[in-house]
Structure 1
Amino acid sequence: MTDLLSLLWQRKLTLITAALIAGLLGYAVTKAMPVRFAGEGLLLVESRDQAIPELNQTVSANTPSAQRIRTEADILRSRALAADVVRELGLADKPEKEGLGAAISALVAPVTTWVRDSIASLLQPQLDENGQPLGAAPLDKVGLAVEEMQKNLSIGTAENSNVVVVRYVADTAEEAARVVNTLMDRYISQEVNAKRDTTLQANEWLTERLTALREDMEAADRKIEAYRERTGLLETSQGTITTLQLGEQQTRVAVARQELARAQAALDSALRSGNRGSAATEALTSPTVQALRTREAEIGARSASLAQQLGRNHPDRLAAEAELRDVQRQIGSEISKVVASLRREVDAARDRLAEAQSSLTSTSRTARTGAQAEVGLLALTREADAKRQIYQTFLTRAEQTRMASAQFPLARVISPAVAPYRPSGAPASVVAAFAAFVGLFLMAGLLILRRLTHGAFNSVQDLVSMTGIQNVGSLPALGRGRRNKMPALVLDQGQSGIAETLRALRLNMQTVAGGGPANTVLVTSSAIGDGKSTVASSLARLSAADGMRVLLIETDMRRPQLSAIFGAPWPGRSIEAVLNGETRFEDAIQVDERSGLHLLLSDRSSNNPQALIESRQFAELINRARREYRLVILDSPPVMRVADAVVLSQHSDAVLFAVGWERTSRTVVMEAMRRLPRSMRARMATVMTRVRPGRLDPLGYYEGYSKSASPDLKRLPAPGA
């Protein structure tokens, strides 16, 4: 966010200019537009009457649905309704516009005429005598006026409201209000007429249908009467005669069975009483038996008392026992009579049940005989009931449609349009302010979008915050055709800003290495063209010119670039020859005549450079260079091209990573740094190259101070010299 705000602040003049231009353009366009007035009216869409399914009308609830409201809005903006309004108000005969619009039309009229004549000359075979294309419809003023009206008409609806907003924009306030009110009146009239026509059509159709249904119902009733006369089925309010007789016989059988069961239960109780003795006999309801039981109890009590007082053969005791036996014989005789009476009742009940069952059987046979006739009668009755129900339903619908013809229309005007006092649209000052803000935000968005889509580093702060790696300096771009000028410039202008920046870079590399002797520095980059070879050669040449013993090794054996600066290596004295054992290290060293820099260059003779870098001979070469030189600089291939830089980082004390300004994408740079060993991140530093001079970081670039030339130092000989 800070970087984006910094970008916007740096481009503040661009943003202000864009805002001013957009504001002035908005103000000018607003002033150039003709004055327009907007008239507005409100329509309330009522709920529909009860629908008539027979006429396939839509059923709706009490509250109109959103689909219904949108449908009414579509009717309001229809071409047919607009044509009625145009004809009623005579909008087709309205004079042409005057004012600024007419002035603009007068200015562009010559151009329009010339274009039209040119097109007509090209399409002459396809035009008729009136200048119109063949087959095209003739110009219709009414049609043009309808299109103009529809263009200026807007119908608004809300999701949770039954109100439809009708708005029309016209040249005059009176015309705007008149068009809106006429449109709403024509819409309501059209709804009333359509509803009246629909009602009349429904009444005619329902009347015809009612007549046909009534005839069908009467024919069904006559068919039922004829069937009854033919089958002899007499029907009362409770059903047919046969059905009633069958019910009565079933009731007789049920009553006879209950009587038989009751008589059989009484007989069984009497038989059980006679077997259980006197105690159970009291359950009998016969008065004679009850009296004899009472007498038996009295005699039994007296006999028991005499048995205690008198002897076994005493006359009184014997007389009492004889009387007791006589009473018991009488009780047995009475019980026998009761049982015989109960047997007669059971037989009589059984006879009555048999008679009732016989009558029921006879009646059932009669009922089965008329069952088929009753089934036919039931079918005819159901058919007649169905026709009668349909007739009643249609009769109700007919009454509803007659009532609907006298109801109010489906919509009403709740707010007619009035002539507006002020023109529509925002004032020119508001439009200008809004356009200025829009221009400002659009320009800011374009600047930010350019920054985000470009995806390259364009500031040291952005590079440090994104990578987390220390930056040790920024070097400017020297322009096209001056690619190799920096290594010569650091010698010609030893006190220049570039030279001072490289010296500071060399000192900062000691800090990157943790305070130790960083005499082996790997210079690499993520991609080709970031200036790593220029940085390596310039740093090495300046350090050698400052009196340090420096060795520059060209480890990029695939595409060596240092030969373009220092010249091709001597035949057979390249780094490949040293690693292959074809020559000695000291014999392959070349000396830069201007700076005394020692060079070990590549002749691109190896087919497998990575194998040479991973060999034991290369490690021995680096160890010897560490001992004999104060600073060893390795110019390696880009990290994203080959893995040579990853191997070379294992032989280095520090890594100097060159990042091209607004050149290489951030993703590529981050991926290249990720590929290097994690242990090297603490000993890595970045240098931003090819920075536009006006965008150099003041904290990482030195402007230079003295204009004197560098002293002519004694040049160091080669190790074998």
Structure 2
Amino acid sequence: MSDVNKSYSTLGNHVSVQSAPPASDDDEIDLLELLGTLWRGKLVLAGAAILALLIGSFYAFGVAVPRYTATATVAIEMQAPSIVDIESVVSGVSTEDASLNTELEILQSRTVILNLIDTMDLLEDPEFNASLRPEPAISLAPVIGLVRSLIGSPGEATASEVDEETAVLNDTVDAVRSAISASIKRDTFVFNVSATTTGRVKSQQLVNTLAQIYIQDQIDAKFDSLETAVTFLSERVTELEAELDEGQERLQALRTETDLVTPEALEAVNRQLIDVRNRVEETQSSVATQEDRLAALETAREARDFQTIAQELGDPTLDNLLPQVQNGDADAVESFLSRTDLLTSRIETSLRRSRSQAAALEASMVRQEEALQSQAEDLSQLEQLNREIASTQTLYETFLARLKEASVQRGLMSADSRILSEATPGRLVEPRKGLILALSLILGLMAGAAIVLGRQFLHQGFRTAEDLEAHTGRTILGQIPKMPIKRRGDLIQYLNEKPTSAAAEAIRNLRTSVLLSDVDNPPQLIMSTSSLPGEGKTTQAISLSHNLAGLGRKVLLVEADIRRRTFQEYFDVPQDHPGLVAAMMEECTLEEAIVRDPKLKNVDVIMGDKSGLNAADVFSSEKFRAFLDQLRATYDTIIIDTPPVLVVPDARVIGQHTDAIVFTTAWDRTTKAQVREAMRQFSTVNVHVTGLVLSQIDPKGMKRYGYGGKYGSYGAYGASYYNS
């Protein structure tokens, strides 16, 4: 009972809730670590740089086709426009720039390029006519044609329907245009014309011929324009001459048909009309006055108003008779009336005369108005015809003068441009070997850096104890190098023959770390496990047992991996020898189950054996606990080799009864996810992992990854301490 309590007490001392690994406080990039990673991958960087340099050299010196550029200089004789307003001074738009850019477009126009192709017979040059080039060994043209035929709409013309000659010509024009470039020299009317081809002389001939064609094209364009202008001017002069003759004939006919009319004569007629119009108005006013007097006299006579009659007529005789008439003298009344009748008849006679005179004047006024209107119309028609003749005469003289100037310019035709300097044989511009080599070196270094950093980023294993400790948050108990043995059965012999090897010293370091993991209660029951098979946990358990036995301890090595039973490869034991399950089930005694290998001195071994029971159920039973208590009472140290954690649950069950758990991780192979999952599974059953071991470390691999100097135990300077 006391043993059971002791076991529970021991279990309580080491079982605790597993803490999560410390999280990183920031995501900042560690430049020193980055540089260290690149330095560790310096061989990869150097290899990638050398490979890229070789590829670049092969391309620059063996594959790239040399290309040469020749340049000619052409000047344009610009006529500066006169400044006619303030906008011409302050405007930011330069008509000269527009003219220069226009000339550059003309220089590279399809018409000029076609003329150049015909002149130099470039359709027969494979550099520009791709149809003359040999078919490449590997071509995607059939695939591209198939894809185009599949995705093309039904209405589109296929390549077979296009005129082949036209397609070849268009491709040649594009190729020649791409080989030609032109640029304006700043603040000048000069531009450079360049051609880049695969031949020095070809580039020279191409650019010089292009310049000559461009200048000749200017002359031809001017000549065509001049011929068009001469033809137009000749036709127009003939038409204007005919119009002028016709106008002269019409003017002569108009003068013959009408009286000679001048503006002065028309003005005289107008003045006469005004005088007649005034006389008519005066006569009509006199007639109206007389009619008013007669009406007034008639009214006064009917009313026998002798006073009014006398006032209207203003006659002295009537004035003398008026007093007598007013006194009622009958003779005086008769005389007064007789005198009144006489005067009235005179007024009527004058009225008739005025009316006749007014009618005559009105008739004369109408005749003069009609004459004036007729003469004004004739004068207007005459002046209009004179203006038309004058305008036609001016146009005729202007076009005749332009026709004579154009005729003279035929003999003075010249281009607006001239060649300042012809091209010389082209200079090499491609390939730029120095630049290619420099870029190849840079790209190689970048590719090497990408490989190194990508490998580091994608790598999920552990290459250093620091990485393993930082990722798990647990102590690293040891770092075990790869055992230099060819088969598992050679392990114990190697440990016996090489007691001072690096591997043996690493096992001693592991032993020390395990024993000192709890100074007050040194572990007695030690479990060795890992995430997956093949990580070195069994090799480590056997090596640790061998090392502990050297301290004079009574050591027991137990194979709890009863599913695989790999101890058979380390120890020469019959297959039917009783093992762990038989001893635990008391099918045999403990002594009968123990194996003592003469190579593994002072270490008792219990092999795993087959069982019809489930292994996890066996290790969860009270019999197993009681069996462990029996072993504790017999041995100083018990090392149990268990199955991997991620494969079966046996290790988590056995871990409930152990004092220390040593978790083995294979160097550069076990992934972080696997270790993390193994730690999580231990944490779910409240089993504390004492520490981790980085096993199967490859010293050459450490050097290859740049860690050789960091871990001196496996470095070159440790050769004087170790006997490998």
What TM-score comes out, normalization by structure 1 length?
Answer: 0.48
Max radius of gyration: which structure? 2
**Greater length-normalized contact order (CA 8 Å, ≥ 6 residues apart):** 2
What TM-score comes out, normalization by structure 2 length?
Answer: 0.48
